[in-house]
Amino acid sequence: MADPNFSWIYLIIFLAIPLSRIIPRIIAKRRQRIDGYTQPEPVQETQNSQWSPKEESLESKPSDMQVLGIMHQGANTFEKIQRSIKMDTKELDSILQQLEKRDLIKVVQKQGMFGPKVELYSTDKGFKEFYS
């Protein structure tokens, strides 16, 4: 008798099953792009996964203290700060320059994978200023 050829099983295990998980995700992303609506993907909770601002009474504080507060909550890039405060670029840039002149924040330029990136960190003086 001839040996049966069961190589098709390997195709199912190593190709079809992963594709059945990937293809619906790709289709959903394309639909969102076509509709013009992008829904944020769910974020799994890990210790350092995604930054989310605490909803405290930051609205009642001056704008420079709002920026410091958001930075203490974990936002260390211009985009994250701007997204959480919903402030225009020029105004946020002037606030960050004032904070840097007063030595409340420090600007660190790093070489990232896609070019240079700028990270903003609060100094001890900025920490004390915010919590006093």
Residue 55, domain member (yes or no): no
How many domains would you assign to the chain? 1
In a domain, 18, yes or no: no
**pTM of the full predicted structure?**
0.52
Q: Is residue 31 part of a domain?
A: no
* CB burial readout 55-70, b (16+ within 10 A) else e: eeebeeeeebbbbbbb
Task: Flag whether 27 is in a domain.
Answer: no
Q: Does the residue 44 lie in any domain?
A: no
Q: Provide the CATH number for the domain around residue 74.
A: 1.10.10.10
Residue 117: inside a domain, yes or no?
Answer: yes
Q: What is the pLDDT of residue 55?
A: 47
Percent of the chain with pLDDT over 90: 2
Tens-place pLDDT, residues 18-55: 788 888 888 888 887 776 655 555 555 445 555 555 54
Rounded to 5°, angle at Cα 77 from 73 and 80: 65
Assign 85 a pLDDT band (cuts: 50, 70, 90): confident
Residue 102 makes CB contacts below 8 A (sequence gap 6+) with: 125
Query: What residue numbers bound the domain in which 102 lies?
Result: 60-131
Cα–Cα dist 52/70, whole Å: 9
- Asked whether residue 15 is domain-assigned, the answer is no
Higher pLDDT, 74 or 39: 74
